[in-house]
Amino acid sequence: MISSSATIAASSIIESDVIIGPHVDIGPFCIISAGVKIGEGTTISSHVVINGNTTIGSDNQIGMGSSIGEISQDLKYAGEPAGLEIGNGNRIGHHATLHRGTAQGGGMTRIGDDNHFGRGVHIGHDCQVGNATFIGENSGLAGHVVLGNDTYIDTMCAVHQFCVIGTGARLLAGSCVVQDVPPYVLAGGNRASPQGINELASRFMQAEHTEREVVRYLYDLLYHKQAAVEKVRLEIGHLSVEYPLLCHFNEFFLRSARGIVR
């Protein structure tokens, strides 16, 4: 079903069983495969390929030459049903590659709302990307990566599979991440190590002064006093009752399985 208000270039190929919402704009030489759903007001530049069980929300912009919803690069993938879900208001740069999920990862790659992905960004199978994130040019997430809300990944970064990047964390340009990065931590290098607190994270900046001081205290425990993670988790459990910002740390440590950057 194609809305009458959608604009589609004559050179683009739209297969049957595609849903295209109102005011969608599809540029020339695109291929949209069966099973794709595109929400209202989304703009797709030229030479974009969108495959498979892919759902795209409203008011997204997808850059020229991007590959959206291609099958997983995981060699275990055996053709089982899998999909990609993209939320609303995302900006996806030229030549980006976003892959569908696998059975091992729940069958679905998910992208939230209001994210900004630069040119050449790669999102691997089964990744779970939150809201209001930034991923710089030519950076990539391997399979099963979890990216929290308000995270910032600079250019030319690589994140190992199954890593968790916490809410408000930031990776410096050229970083290679092989372990989990706690919320609001600034990390960089190859391999990435903690470089301080990301005080530019919007949630950190909007927090009360006392909450920001508690985050600094936790960073001091983890990285200056080298406290055991279990001890820090217990401390977070006590403090999060009074300081809601620390709930992000609780969520992070529930997911974290690879150990944290040191």
133's tokens? 């994130």
Q: Is 64 exposed, middle or buried (0-12, 13-18, 19+ CB in 10 A)?
A: middle
Q: Is 125 a catalytic residue?
A: yes
How far apart (Å, rounded) are the C-alpha atoms in residues 110 and 86? Answer: 6
Q: Is 59 a catalytic residue?
A: no
Q: Which of 47, 95, 122, 125 is catalytic?
A: 125
Tell me, what DSSP letter sits at residue 178? Answer: -
Q: Which of 65, 143, 148, 166 is catalytic?
A: 143
Task: Return all residues near 27 (Cβ < 8 A) that are at least 6 apart.
Answer: 9, 12, 44, 45, 46, 47, 48, 64
Q: How does 174-195 read in b/e, with b if 16+ C-beta sit within 10 Å?
A: ebebbbbbbbbbbbbeeebebb
Amino acid letter, 52: G
Q: Is 196 a catalytic residue?
A: no
Task: Measure the N-to-C terminal CA separation of the chain; round to a whole number of Å.
Answer: 52
Q: Assign 3-class secondary structure to 74-99.
A: CCCCCCCCCEEEECCCCEECCCCEEE
Q: Which of 74, 113, 126, 154 is catalytic?
A: 126
Which residues have a catalytic role annotated?
125-126, 143
